[in-house]
């Protein structure tokens, strides 16, 4: 099977969708399929590249709106593809619409995986979102041979997916890379004095991730440190917040971490926190990485993210409530045996539901069913 993946951004751009597309592509190749990716080109990225057998084509952006690439040439690229099936990842808008139009032009079947809702602040932002849902986003979803959502609750609550038949297939994690045996001692010795408990955040430093709320949670507890792994436009504001709250000895901005070292950071810490505040966070891949590493989670109670765990593997807390995060952290830090058991249950859940082996087979099954018609 020859599969074309279409995504607004791709590796090395850092994000959950990009990670999902790369992992899915690599695993479909292992299963014997031919996979290529078409995406937007930014900075000085090469126009074509091959990563682990995945052929990548990057097309120039006509314009970038709200950090969303508008790549009109994707329609022509998809129209000319020799792929058997097109797999479109959305949102942001524009890319999915151009790709869907190209697939229809060529008579190619296509699948849309809808990862999250579009959410923009302010009156103008709401106008843009409404325009997307009514005009841009509806066409690809209505015309798709199949629509995939990553969680049950998200498929139910997303305004964009109302009245559309949706197949739920979750995101996945590499359970061999993130495991119970990675040595995190070097990282723990570097940041933890006298075995002081550590909390971990991994992700882009942007407002909807809720990092400011997480930082404020430390003012409700006198113990523990927080490691923040990642980078982004919100970093300067967060650093100023840490100074204002006098937490500079307890909040450590690690910055971006090489892929080789990332599993060690999970292994070194006592809890992984996803304090997201927005529906832009459709599925917590970081949560899966933490669970695969045997760590208890603290997650915001928002659609998508809350589907990752039951409260047997961690705690689900109210978004925008730093005191609730602090209570959950203290429960984990004060009961290491209970935390260890939570982590082991999380590992078992990941192995059963969220391995790339299972998820890739499920998506392959969708493609095969469509092509057999």
Positions of CATH 3.40.50.2000 in the chain: 2-172+355-371, 185-353
Which residue shows structure tokens 């990225």?
A: 45
HEC-encoded secondary structure of 23-63: HHHHHHHHCCCEEEEEEEECCCCCCEEEECCEEEEEEECCE
% of the chain at pLDDT higher than 90: 68
Q: How many CA atoms, within 13 angstroms, populate the side-chain half-sphere of residue 18?
A: 13
CATH of domain 185-353: 3.40.50.2000
Residue 284: pLDDT above 80?
no
What pLDDT is recorded for position 6? 96
φ, ψ at 121 (rounded to 5°): -85, 155
**What is the sign of the dihedral through the CA atoms of 15, 17, 22 and 27?**
positive
Q: Which of 129-143, 173-187, 297-311 has the lowest mean pLDDT?
A: 129-143
- Cα–Cα distance, 185 to 250 (Å, whole number): 19
Count each helix (H run) and each strand (E run) in the chain, helices first: 14, 16
- Strand-pair partners of 48: 57
Residue 132: pLDDT above 60?
no
CA 237 from centroid of its chain's CA atoms = 23
Burial code (b: 16+ CB inside 10 Å, e: under 16) for 111-133 equals bbbbbbbbeeeeeeeeebbeebb
The packing angle between helices 322-334 and 336-353, to 10°, is: 100
Does 3.40.1280.10 match the CATH number of domain 2-172+355-371? no
Q: Is the CB of residue 288 less than 8 Å from the CB of residue 171?
A: yes
Q: Which residue has the higher pLDDT, 43 or 79?
A: 79
- Cα–Cα distance, 8 to 27 (Å, whole number): 20
- Cα–Cα distance, 339 to 351 (Å, whole number): 19
- Cα–Cα distance, 313 to 296 (Å, whole number): 6
The total of other beta-carbon atoms located within 10 Å of residue 33's CB is 17
What pLDDT is recorded for position 55? 96
As to burial, measured by CB atoms within 10 angstroms (0-12 exposed, 13-18 middle, 19+ buried), residue 103 is buried
Q: Is the CB of residue 174 less than 8 Å from the CB of residue 180?
A: no
Task: Taking residues 147-165, report their average pLDDT.
Answer: 78
Residue 290: pLDDT above 90?
yes
% of the chain at pLDDT higher than 70: 89
- Cα–Cα distance, 146 to 166 (Å, whole number): 7
Residue 127: pLDDT above 60?
no
């Amino acid at each position: 099977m020859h599969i074309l993946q279409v995504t607004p951004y791709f590796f090395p751009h850092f994000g959950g969708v990009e990670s999902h597309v790369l992992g899915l592509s690599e695993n479909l190749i292992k299963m014997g399929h031919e996979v290529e990716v078409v995406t937007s080109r930014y900075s000085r990225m090469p126009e074509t590249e091959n990563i682990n057998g995945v052929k990548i084509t990057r097309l120039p952006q006509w314009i970038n709106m709200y950090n969303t690439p508008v790549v009109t040439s994707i329609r022509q690229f998809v129209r000319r593809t020799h792929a058997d099936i097109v797999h479109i990842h959305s949102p942001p808008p524009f890319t999915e619409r151009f790709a869907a139009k190209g697939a229809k032009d060529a008579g190619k079947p296509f699948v849309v995986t809808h990862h999250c809702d579009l959410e923009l602040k302010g009156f103008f932002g709401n106008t843009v979102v409404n325009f997307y849902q009514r005009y841009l986003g509806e066409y690809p979803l209505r015309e798709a041979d199949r629509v995939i959502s990553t969680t049950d609750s998200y498929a139910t609550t997303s305004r964009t997916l109302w009245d559309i038949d949706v197949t739920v297939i979750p995101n996945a994690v590499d359970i061999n890379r993130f495991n119970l045996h990675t040595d995190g001692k070097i990282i723990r010795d570097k940041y933890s004095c006298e075995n002081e408990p550590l909390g971990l955040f991994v992700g882009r430093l942007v407002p909807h991730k809720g990092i400011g709320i997480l930082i404020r949670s430390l003012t409700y507890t006198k113990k523990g440190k927080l490691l923040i792994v990642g980078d982004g436009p919100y970093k300067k504001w967060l650093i100023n917040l840490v100074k204002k709250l006098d937490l500079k000895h307890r909040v450590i901005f690690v910055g971006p971490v090489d892929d080789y070292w990332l599993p060690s950071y999970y292994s070194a810490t006592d809890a992984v926190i996803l304090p997201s505040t927005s529906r832009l966070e459709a599925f917590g891949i970081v949560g899966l990485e933490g669970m695969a590493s045997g760590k208890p989670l603290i997650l915001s109670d928002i659609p998508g993210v809350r589907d990752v765990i039951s409260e047997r593997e961690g705690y689900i807390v109210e978004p925008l409530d730093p005191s609730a995060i602090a209570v959950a952290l203290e429960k984990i830090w004060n009961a290491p045996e209970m935390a260890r058991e939570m982590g082991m249950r999380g590992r078992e859940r990941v192995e059963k539901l969220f391995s790339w082996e299972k998820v890739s087979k499920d998506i392959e099954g969708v493609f095969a069913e469509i092509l057999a018609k």
